[in-house]
Structure 1
Amino acid sequence: MTEQNPDDFRTSAVRAIRIEREAIEALEGRIDDQFTRACEVIMGCQGRVVVTGMGKSGHIGNKIAATLASTGTPSFFVHPGEASHGDMGMITSQDVVIAISNSGNTSEVVTILPLIKRMGAPLISMTGNANSTLAREAVANLDVSVAVEACPLGLAPTSSTTATLVMGDALAVALLEARGFSAEDFAFSHPGGSLGRRLLLRVSDIMHAGDRIPRVTEGTTLSGALLEISMKGLGMTTVVDADGAMTGIFTDGDLRRTLDKPIDVHTTLIEDVMTRNGKTIRADHLAAEALNIMEELKINALPVIGEHGELVGAINMHDLLRAGVI
């Protein structure tokens, strides 16, 4: 083993990045009729997109299948070796198969080509060899060839796998836009993550409702309002008139401003110190919108109103934190 100094490590790393960047840049000129044909075939698919590949191509194929599935194109990965031993039953004539092989002649993939063809499932290939068996059998071949691998030995798949991954991402994004796939659609594929919670949770899902809403009527003294704030623990109280319609809000911030004045908390009425026409949020709005309002206005709580402006709940920053929106 030759002795290395820090500059040697950095030089190798920068060279690898440069080679892979050049491989990616070369892909732009290959977004051609073959790419368009691949998109059209997948858009017309009545089943699922089945991705297959061996070795490092298989690892890349797994990621491509996952990306397709999470962006509106139902997809899964099948190992070509397992396909020869029973997993071909996972593929139907309604599916589209994407087969990945840098050489285009990987034996495990080539072995199942006659079965795919007999089944009638359209085949899309991603290869580095347009004259290979795999490319010739495909209805569309996506060219992922590279001039050189980043590996100095030219052996370890490096720039070739990167190019394949980027081509797969390009395919997924083109299909996503063609389907009109929205952020909310994406969230339904990711309900367990913070992104899903931000895009799916409504204010109504996490707000305090019913008797848990901090609420006092006009005519209540400031001391009575402070007791309500303390009991409900949201750092605020709403103020309603005799008919139950909200007329204002009193928050911790209002309290600090009020205490700067010479007032008696036992005789001052809440309507004399509350904020009228305060900010509210609709129950059917995203919880993330409540977070944006609070951050923009530097407040910690919001009254929640219904479709007709009636008071239906209250929400504060701690509710958003507990729900994972923050």
Structure 2
Amino acid sequence: MKILDIGKRVLQEEKKALENLIEALDENFEKAVQLILDTKGKVIVTGMGKSGHIGNKIAATLASTGTPAFFLHPAEAIHGDLGMISREDIVLAISNSGETPELLAIIPTIKRWGNKIISITNNPKSSLAQESDIHLFLNVEKEACPLNLAPTSSSTATLALGDALAVALLEMRGFTAEDFAQFHPGGSLGKKLMKVKEIMHTGDKLPVISPDTPLKETVIIMSEKGFGAALVAEDNKLIGIITDGDLRRFIKAGGSIDKSYAKDAMTASPKTISEDRLVVEALELMERYNITVLPVVKNSSIAGLIHMHDILKSGVI
């Protein structure tokens, strides 16, 4: 058999497993989501072996999308880590067979404490399913492994079901990109969700001038502030911008720096951005119009200024 054929067969088997899972999804899924939404505690995810590895990922996904969660290893739980579970927590127990000894060993204590249990198994008649408050059925017919032994289709289905739970909870909570950014302050994800106000220059650092500022003085201010631009404003309302390029074009057209004013060389109604927009949006705007300086406004008033160098230093790109 060709290697490529094996790969395609495995993916087809796992695709079928996901299709079966979709068919099996019922009102228990809705009950599970609602139970988690209503709790004031955390979601404690637990499972052994491959189910444990998948459970670890599910816990991480839940935690990063607004649902407090962590993974508890059942073997460690038997030896004291059950103390990590508080009264208001919900336990999400994962076992393909539903008969994992280490998992079943901690269920009586959890039930005695009154914690609700949501289980994910491939056997609705299993011990774990029967002891749970809500059972989610995987409905996997066979593993992609030709021996039907190695967790493949079942682990894929479990992971997908965990994603479905996390996304349903995310949407029901109205979780936003801004919320996501709070949980991802580091790495590329957090940086892509960085807002303009986090990197913009403000206050005395800004090269703000009036339209009647002599152009010779404007050049000095532009040089001192170091942005290669000056913001032209009336009562702090932005009406124009002067960049190094504007000055060159003004002089080339016969203008005189000694006898002219800022209003004579400025570009009226320049491109701007709000301080609450994302830095990546500012970058897209600057690239589209081939500009390196972008005024930041709030209700038409000058709030700040960002330069392409600021975006490069932010690590967004």
Which stretch of structure 1 is more off in the superposition, 92-101 or 194-203? 194-203
Q: Is structure 2 residue 253 aligned with structure 1 residue 261? A: yes
SS in 2 for 1:51: strand
Deviations 1:95-132 (A, max 9, x none): 11111011110111011111111111111111111111
Counterpart residue identity of residue 271, structure 1: K
- Contact map agreement 2:271 2:295 (CA 8 A) in 1: yes
Deviation of 1:323 after TM superposition, in Å, equals 2.1
**Which consecutive residues of structure 1, in runs of 5 or more, have no partner in the other structure?**
1-6
Q: Does 1:75 align with 2:69?
A: yes
Instruction: Give the SS at the match of 2:146.
Output: coil
Q: Distance in 1 between matches of 2:288 and 2:103?
A: 55
Q: Distance in 1 between matches of 2:40 and 2:232?
A: 56
Whether 1:118 aligns to 2:112 is yes
2:20 aligns with 26
| CA drift at 1:223 | 4.7
Q: Does 1:13 align with 2:10?
A: no
What is the CA-CA distance between 1:25 and the residue it aligns to? 1.3
User: Which deviates the most, 227-236 or 90-99?
Assistant: 227-236
1:237 pairs, out of 230, 240, 244, with 230
Contact 1:47 1:95 in 2 (8 A): yes
Residues 195 and 275 in structure 2, CA contact (< 8 A), matched pair in contact too: no
CA 1:40–1:280: 2 relative to 1, 3 Å = closer
Is 1:313 matched up with 2:270?
Answer: no
User: Is 1:88 equivalent to 2:79 in the alignment?
Assistant: no
Deviates more, 1:251-260 or 1:315-324: 251-260
- Using the TM superposition, give the Cα deviation of residue 178 of structure 1 relative to its aligned residue in structure 2, in angstroms: 1.5
Instruction: Output one character per residue of 1:208-231: Cα deviation in whole Å (capped at 9) or x when no partner.
Output: 223321234444454543443333
Write the distance in 1 (CA, Å) between the matches of 2:239 and 2:131. 72
Distance verdict in 2 for CA 1:55–1:277, change over 3 Å: same
Q: CA deviation at 1:285?
A: 4.6
1:323 partnered with 2:317: no
Structure 1 stretch displaced more, 7-16 or 99-108: 7-16
Q: Which residue in the other structure is 1:175 paired with?
A: 169
Shift of 1:146: 1.7
- Contact 2:96/2:123 (<8 A) preserved: yes
Long gaps (5+) in structure 2: none
- How many residues are matched? 317
- The separation in 2 between residues aligned to 1:97 and 1:240, in whole angstroms, is 59
Cα distance change on mapping 1:191 and 1:130 into 2, 3 Å? same
Of the structure 1 ranges 272-281 and 220-229, higher mean CA displacement relative to structure 2 is found in 220-229
- The 3-state SS of whatever aligns with 2:2 is helix
- Aligned: 1:131 with 2:131: no
The alpha-carbon deviation at position 267 of structure 1 amounts to: 3.6
1:35 to 2:29 alignment: yes
**After alignment, is 59-68 or 188-197 more displaced?**
188-197
Q: Secondary structure in 1 aligned to 2:185?
A: coil
- Cα distance in 2 between the residues matched to 1:276 and 1:269: 14
Secondary structure at the counterpart of residue 322 of structure 1: helix
Given the alignment, which residue of 239, 261, 271 partners 1:279? Answer: 271
My pick for the range that moved more, 162-171 or 270-279, is 270-279
Change (3 A) 1:325 1:41: same
**Could you tell me how far 1:292 is from its partner in structure 2?**
3.9
Distance 1:184 1:289 in 2: 14
Q: TM-score, normalised by structure 2?
A: 0.90
Distance change in 2, residues 1:84/1:244 (3 Å):
closer
Q: CA deviation at 1:161?
A: 0.4
CA distance in 1, matches of 2:129, 2:302: 64
2:110 aligns to what SS in structure 1?
A: helix
Give the residue type in structure 1 aligned to 2:309.
H
Q: Distance in 1 between matches of 2:95 and 2:239?
A: 68
Alpha-carbon separation, structure 2, partners of 1:207 and 1:254: 22
- Which residue is 1:60 aligned to? 54
Normalised TM-score (structure 1): 0.88
Identity %: 51
Alignment-mate amino acid for residue 121 of structure 1: N
Q: Deviations over 1:273-318 (max 9, x none)?
A: 21122233344554444334323433221223345x4434321121
